[in-house]
Amino acid sequence: MSQVIVIGSGIGSLASALRLRAKGHDVKVLEASDQVGGKLGVLHSKGYRWDTGPSLFTMPQFVDELFTLFGEKPQEHFNYQKQFTVCNYFWEDGTRFSSSANLETFCSEASKTFNEQEEKIADYLAKSALKYDLTSALFIEKSLHKLSTFTSSKAAKAVLQMSKLDIRSTLNEVNEASFSSPKLIQFFNRFATYNGSSPYKTPGIMSMIPTLEMQFGTFYPTGGMRSIVESLQLLGERHGVEFHFNESATSIDYVNQKVTGVTTEHKSYRADIVVSGIDAHYTYTSLLPKLKAPKKTLEQEKSSSAIIFYWGIKKSFPALDLHNIFFSEDYKKEFDAIFKDKILSADPTVYLNISSKADSADAPEGCENWFVMINVPTNNGQNWKQLVSEARSEVIKKLNRNLNVDLNELIVTEDVLDPVKIEVNTSSHQGSLYGSASNSKFSAFLRHPNFSTQLKGLYFCGGSVHPGGGIPLCLKSGQIVADLIADA
């Protein structure tokens, strides 16, 4: 039985810790803050409750299987409800579209709203599902940095149908070739934001992302997104995973290119295996300063960051749902601002999450808790105090126009998260939400691997390494790490 130290307690770290404990290892989790979760935090104010990080929950089976590893029934500890409406969409010209979780209903209603042939929409989604089926075993479930991954029958099948993956086209080019409606093109372009990328740069294979919503569904966890990590912490504690809070790691220790443990602000821990679940850039610069860092990997273009307003609203809005999108009028200009000019868009797309739509306890009666987010560039020394003020003004104007309301009279409490705070709170380099952006056809292969090529016994999980950011992929990174350790 090996002694394992997991640094950080984000969703990827928790998955790694649980899977390694299930395999019989002695596992300790070192967390710099006083609670688990990483970006999956929580905020309370004046009777309102917000999940502060990721708000979209797909592929819940990836969480369920962590319970079944220990012979437990997931539903006795963690529950969720499927959403019948995925998201409500708003355009400045008054067009509104409610995205149904039912595939046939979606195709029918999208055809009517956007004046596109229903068969074209169904065909697009079928191709999306095919891309996922062909590549999930290769790009999501296995290490891309091991030769064995590419010698499997599944890899051979994907290679033989490479032309169907649209790797050489951008997502926007795929969508423009599929539809004539600018609004429907914009609708499918937005899926690039699920990993913090630009639809005008990310490869067309990313058109498989809608499958996560359209084919597998979206869900809301009982108790909010925060309940995911809290239930996994309790699972770990029931089965012997040790959690050490307020233990900020200061170095990963090694001798003769083999890890020996981790030193924190308080003490040193011996370990045979170390799993870093925190940002790869931070791991090298702060915990392994004398080790030669993979410069090319760490200098990749970063994903977008965000400004998020947490507003307590003293009114309810029947036109809104759990997830809502208010689109910009010039999507290309918005992404150029983020990735090319590194500035705020003058007309940002606004994402509005209202968890009180699913759980009324998250806001006082007749009120709503608004999580209002726009995509922004990473922190490169901009004046974020000024930019947050400008963003707030533009966001309120957009929401006022679309909802015919004066939000300034309705906001009773407010908090704000910006790229600087994201970097400080989570050690995410420059406040990036998803580590590296997927803005090239080689980006998947350029992500940091789940293991070290320099130090035996050192592994990596979480959103800054393979297979990427977002809850499902971070959970899979934990599985990949556990499999790699088992095969070592």
Q: Is residue 11 part of a domain?
A: yes
DSSP state letters, 246-268 = S--EEEEEEETTEEEEEEESS-E
CATH code of the domain in which 470 resides: 3.50.50.60
Mean pLDDT of 258-281: 97
Q: Of 216, 236, 265, which residue constitutes the final position of a domain?
A: 216
Nearest Cα to Cα of residue 11 among 43, 48, 57, 50: 57
Residues spanned by the domain of 253? 3-34+245-300+444-487
Decide if pLDDT at 446 tops 80: no
When divided into structural domains, the chain yields a total of 2
Tokens describing residue 451 = 């293991």
pLDDT digits (tens, 9 = 90+) for 342-386: 999 999 999 999 999 999 999 999 999 999 999 999 999 999 999
Residue 401 forms part of a structural domain: no
Based on the fold, state whether residues 151 and 206 are members of the same structural domain: yes
* Cross-strand bridge partners of residue 76: none
Instruction: List, in sequence order, every beta strand (DSSP E) within 96-240.
Output: 96-100, 219-221
Residues 151 and 251 in one domain: no
In a domain, 14, yes or no: yes
- Report the 10 Å Cβ neighbour count for 234: 13
CA distance 163 to 205: 10
Q: Does one domain contain both 209 and 146?
A: yes
- The predicted structure's pLDDT at residue 138: 67
Q: Once rounded to an integer, what is the mean pLDDT over residues 417-443?
A: 91
The rounded distance, in Å, linking the Cα atoms of 17 and 478 is 8
Q: Please, which pLDDT band fits residue 431 given cuts at 50, 70 and 90?
A: very high
Q: What angle do CA 353, 362, 53 make, to 5 degrees?
A: 45
Shared domain for 258 and 152, answered yes or no, is no
Question: What band does 147 get if pLDDT is binned at 50, 70 and 90?
Answer: low
Domain assignment present for residue 459? The answer is yes
Q: Is residue 154 part of a domain?
A: yes
Q: Do residues 112 and 203 share a domain?
A: yes
Q: What is the mean pLDDT of residues 257-272?
A: 97
Average per-residue pLDDT in the chain? 93
Side-chain half-sphere exposure of 337, counting CA atoms within 13 A: 17
The reply to whether 183 and 250 lie within a common domain is: no
Residue 120 pLDDT greater than 80, yes or no? yes
What distance, in Å, lies between the first and last C-alpha atoms of the chain? 14
Report H helices in 380-435: 384-403, 419-426
Top pLDDT among 134 and 118 is at 118
- pLDDT tens for 390-402 read 999 999 999 999 9
> Is 335 a member of any domain?
no
Last-in-domain residue among 201, 216, 231: 216
The whole-number pLDDT of residue 132 equals 86
Q: What is the pLDDT of residue 149?
A: 56
Q: CA-to-CA distance for 92 and 74, rounded, in angstroms?
A: 43
pLDDT for position 144: 59
